[in-house]
Structure 1
């Protein structure tokens, strides 16, 4: 073990994670906002918190006798909490009440009938219907009708606590304020009927709403019109039991087909008018004025904001469904394409007698850019010294402030040359190495990477085909025995190397990994060498080589072992740089889409693939998890979890297949479920911040990752034997 190595940490004992930095909060707030909007939309459509259970109780020990024997309006406000008062509808007076609306199908027709008869009534509306039909609420108010609160989602409040009760009333009042600028002091509990039906379960609800200043309106006559018993039955049920007796009649203007209600309403009015009845609202009948008062100030604006957010969420949902469908199609399509094309790649490259051309035996120049790599450089050079292919190694010390250069000199390896330069960045260091190289085939690797003895030989064999200008090697995670390392190991095998097989077959490889890549000197000179225009110089040069007409392939047996970031903050920094650099490279080479020849092929196939699968899909993929959370809590938990696990199973199969192709042990996949969620959210946050940086014109600087030297020669030999 090198003096710079440290023992690797067990996968069962992950390193402590630091508190998430402030940069996490904006992306997370977007996800939380998306979930909140979905909940608002579900509330508006009565999908969220919908509950049709009805309490059943026969005990009436706590209900005052005066309430059970009194009228349909119960007042337990203020000082009446201990001695509630009941009000009856005056003789020869009828109050028509309509529950569960408003609905676009039936409420306008009922309003037309009432307008024709010059009658004002009470409409007990739900908050969900209010937010969906604001114009009808405004019409009800404008035509002099009275509005009462019938909760937001229509649950039996006897089965819920006071917090749910307050929420149901408060949200409905917000909806009324936002839609019509009013507040209502009338309340009717869902599933209620006459006052004498109150029991020990429902009475506490009446008392509680009284504390909040509500009059509770029950009924005298229930027409059961929701059962659609027939027009005659509805009319008969609405008639008073005693001649001249005042009454409050229950009808419905929503909740189903109300054709019978609509047909019965004019008949009820005509019959009662013929008997000398007048029609009033509850406030008019009690001589108390309207129960609806105007709201102003912060209450009004809070209501408007609530209604706007609800309206926006309802309009957003169809687009979100489209996004989820598109993401789903892209994810499944990518999986299918990777599986098919990876199989084609394996059959082609592993076929007996396969070769790229004549064996490549000429010496190779290996360029190692190094900046503060004292923990890793010794292992890197020792691995190169064991190479079974003739090489020279050029270490370009890019202004290191540690002992990197001193360690290289101390090792005094005969095939190693050290070049020192002021700190100029990785692209400049690579170009310096290329300029000093003695041979026409150039291998580039990172200073924290370890090669197997056969890596260089395997990496340069594709140059037997003169059309090939560059080769991507097989980068593997060496420090995979930590939880974060295991996650990255899965990502490298599944997300990178399986992708490279697909891109190889499609002839549109987007990136030659900086950890293990090979180039023809001629190809590099043709595209101007490594550019510092982007933070992803490896992606940039790969795209430039495609546009110059060179073919780029993947050499699966050219394995390199790299030290992956050991903490979430380090992983964030690396992926932030990768994603931002990839966006820069895509923008730089966007004109390839319109070019002819090989460059145009990459532009019309490779660039869209990179955009879809490396930028847009990861940015949208967390919507799948948000939809799953929404479905579990508010829709159907079993179907939602089944769908989510089906996607996870497909990902698991693809991961197993990729591990099988790479001859890797599959036991690391036990962390796959958590890895998939963590990586989806992480890449979403990284990409969102990258988009913000790009759109605001920000500049992202190179960020040096802290290395530990964990990846040593023992990794390559052990894993090679396992393979």
Structure 2
């Protein structure tokens, strides 16, 4: 995973290669490949969730029950007839079960708890019956359907999700029947001609609303089976009452209504265990409906396309249950990780702030650090920003030398710095070799033992260098992370990144500092002990996150890495979605490379093994795994809003948002930032976070497929200035640049500082 890119890299993340512009076919709009995998994965998860919701009657379920209506249009022979109604040939006839024969029928199953118990009792007493199954339950428990058939019972349809069919059109009824049959075909490889309408009762309860449904059902080839003996087991009246209700009078035959699903059926099971032997002793036989009527079997085997369609349906339903079950587990994991991270950040960042700010605090025995330091500024085509950067350094209240390493710029970056003719500023030119090479070149030319590194689009406050180097008073400290802040935060995207920097990055750094496992020295503001860098081989180009890579290497070499909150640097964050994508894609992929490269740290022993035991797992969980699973929160949020429980879902989301707002407000307070930007936090959670998800998914895809990511140059405007630095006259205004592309840094003396 930690591989060298086949393309040259720029310092600061710029791509130097020039490619001819591609012709764009305006007639064809294609989804960029970087969005294809995340979109496909999101669509698949959503489809599985919707399928599960449909099968579990959370979506498209209709729970209306029509009140009784008149019976003017129902033929008398139906009202006075038997419980089996046949309208298949356009004629309405009824059938009754012969004397001393009972047909036990069970509705609403199969149920994973009660159907097996019912089947066990039926098998124990050598009885058979009819199970009227719903498509939703059969789809979820196909093994029980197969057992019902294998043990000699009959199957009847009870619709797919139990609606009152009098509310349905003919197409709606057909859909309920076909979906019910599809589930049966997939589960047991058969079709059935028996049907029982939901909410049905005796034949004399047929009315002008249910009768047209019964006629239509017959025209589709089904026998409608109601009942003439209701055990009323659904009311749980007690075992004795169930047996009394189910017992016919004077040896008459009957179709007995019971239930094997829809709630607690232990009374039904207990009643059956007594009812069956008692009535068998009286000469009753418990048979399937067709056997009791002396008719052909209701079951018809299916094969070919119909069988495979049914099996495909069962497979998809089982997969949706498995996948959504795993999604729920992952959601619980994400929730635990998110809240654990919040708790750790709040607890440890508060302790960190109190420790650093308490009166008399000193970084180490050799403090304060007053010796000069070298500041390395790798630059590639930073004409718009470099003057602001260098002038902010010259205004430093700590003695420094500045080395600007021009990494093959083509816009006159080096000439701009030279024309400034500022004291203590040197320019080192090299052919384009990438940011790590530029930093190593600067390290070789540095005069001093403490090395500060920054990006060419960043500006320092006068006190930044001084604050940044004070921790080196502790001889065990090998590197120091500064406080990177967004300078261009007045746009919506800038404000969202500002929240991310203050709440995410800086609270994290406080936490990692106390845990002793800081994962990254930011490229925008960091300092290193020269001897520490030399011991780990300098800046490596093995990954696209050289700052994370070298930080992990320092930990493994036994050095402490700490955070200096008052060493503030103001950087220009990307202002377009495309540039933000490019930057975060490189960051996330580079972080994965660094984690993979240093995976052996988990086996390191001694003090240097702390990072492997604590830091590497934390970084992997909080920066790679948790963000990858976090879209589940939004998927379930959308599902809950659309399909219920809407109010509870919204309240839960608002609760999580409230916790995030508390953490963000606390982080802003610690960083002494104004909280007005937090007004955009809800939108950040709904919109900005989604982009970060897609970036991470794309990074995973690149890593797993062995893809190579090229560096891309971000466009800069040069509008960022550090508070406390008085803008000077620009070289561009003096006409000192030899670059035709240079148009000034955009930081005039009349402009107010950003931030």
The answer to whether the 8 A contact 1:534-1:585 is kept is: yes
Out of 387, 399, 405, the residue aligned to residue 396 of structure 2 is 387
Is structure 2 residue 153 aligned with structure 1 residue 145?
A: yes
Q: Which residue of 2 aligns with 1:326?
A: 333
**Alpha-carbon distance, 1:706 to partner:** 2.8
How many pairs were matched up? 698
Structure 2 unpaired stretches of 5+: 1-28, 728-750
The answer to whether the 8 A contact 1:345-1:505 is kept is: yes
**Alpha-carbon distance, 1:653 to partner:** 0.8
The answer to whether the 8 A contact 2:502-2:667 is kept is: yes
Is structure 2 residue 308 aligned with structure 1 residue 298?
A: no
Q: Which residue of 2 aligns with 1:505?
A: 514
The answer to whether the 8 A contact 1:95-1:282 is kept is: no
What is the root-mean-square deviation of aligned Cα atoms in Å? 3.5
Q: Which residue of 1 aligns with 2:225?
A: 217
* Secondary structure at 1:56 match in 2: coil
Q: Which residue of 2 aligns with 1:372?
A: 381
| Alpha carbons of structure 1 residues 159 and 383: separation in structure 2 relative to 1, 3 Å | farther
Structure 1 unpaired stretches of 5+: 1-17
- Distance between the aligned counterparts of 1:619 and 1:659, measured in 2? 26
Q: Which residue of 1 aligns with 2:183?
A: 175
Is structure 2 residue 37 aligned with structure 1 residue 26?
A: yes
- Distance between the aligned counterparts of 1:422 and 1:62, measured in 2? 94
| Alpha carbons of structure 1 residues 552 and 146: separation in structure 2 relative to 1, 3 Å | same
Q: Which residue of 2 aligns with 1:612?
A: 621
- Distance between the aligned counterparts of 2:319 and 2:311, measured in 1? 12
Q: Which residue of 1 aligns with 2:108?
A: 100
Greater alpha carbon shift after TM alignment, 166-175 vs 546-555:
166-175
- Distance between the aligned counterparts of 1:471 and 1:278, measured in 2? 83
* Secondary structure at 1:450 match in 2: strand
Out of 461, 482, 491, the residue aligned to residue 473 of structure 1 is 482
Is structure 2 residue 360 aligned with structure 1 residue 360?
A: no
Is structure 2 residue 202 aligned with structure 1 residue 194?
A: yes
TM-score (norm 1): 0.86
Deviation readout 1:154-204 (Å, 9 max, x if unpaired): 344445677775654444333212211122343222211134434455456
| Alpha carbons of structure 1 residues 108 and 493: separation in structure 2 relative to 1, 3 Å | closer
Out of 272, 275, 286, the residue aligned to residue 262 of structure 1 is 272
- Distance between the aligned counterparts of 2:503 and 2:551, measured in 1? 21
Is structure 2 residue 318 aligned with structure 1 residue 308?
A: no
* Secondary structure at 1:54 match in 2: coil
Out of 624, 628, 631, the residue aligned to residue 622 of structure 1 is 631
Q: Which residue of 2 aligns with 1:58?
A: 69
- Distance between the aligned counterparts of 2:305 and 2:678, measured in 1? 53
Deviation readout 1:340-365 (Å, 9 max, x if unpaired): 21111111211223332433333332
Is structure 2 residue 141 aligned with structure 1 residue 130?
A: no
| Alpha carbons of structure 1 residues 713 and 113: separation in structure 2 relative to 1, 3 Å | closer
The answer to whether the 8 A contact 1:145-1:281 is kept is: no
* Secondary structure at 2:199 match in 1: coil
The answer to whether the 8 A contact 2:87-2:223 is kept is: yes
- Distance between the aligned counterparts of 2:611 and 2:342, measured in 1? 21
Q: Which residue of 1 aligns with 2:353?
A: 346
Spell out the pairing of 1:508-587 with structure 2 (5 A cutoff).
508-587=517-596
- Distance between the aligned counterparts of 2:446 and 2:666, measured in 1? 39
Q: Which residue of 2 aligns with 1:3?
A: none
Q: Which residue of 2 aligns with 1:644?
A: 653
Greater alpha carbon shift after TM alignment, 124-133 vs 535-544:
124-133
The answer to whether the 8 A contact 2:98-2:292 is kept is: no
- Distance between the aligned counterparts of 2:426 and 2:539, measured in 1? 20
- Distance between the aligned counterparts of 2:471 and 2:123, measured in 1? 86
Spell out the pairing of 1:384-463 with structure 2 (5 A cutoff).
384-463=393-472
- Distance between the aligned counterparts of 1:604 and 1:112, measured in 2? 53
- Distance between the aligned counterparts of 2:421 and 2:212, measured in 1? 88
- Distance between the aligned counterparts of 1:223 and 1:293, measured in 2? 30
**Alpha-carbon distance, 1:490 to partner:** 0.7
- Distance between the aligned counterparts of 1:86 and 1:606, measured in 2? 78
**Alpha-carbon distance, 1:517 to partner:** 0.9
* Secondary structure at 2:201 match in 1: coil
Greater alpha carbon shift after TM alignment, 549-558 vs 485-494:
549-558
TM-score (norm 2): 0.83
* Secondary structure at 1:388 match in 2: coil
**Alpha-carbon distance, 1:611 to partner:** 1.3
* Secondary structure at 1:570 match in 2: helix
**Alpha-carbon distance, 1:525 to partner:** 1.4
- Distance between the aligned counterparts of 2:220 and 2:670, measured in 1? 67
* Secondary structure at 1:546 match in 2: helix
**Alpha-carbon distance, 1:434 to partner:** 1.8
* Secondary structure at 1:558 match in 2: strand
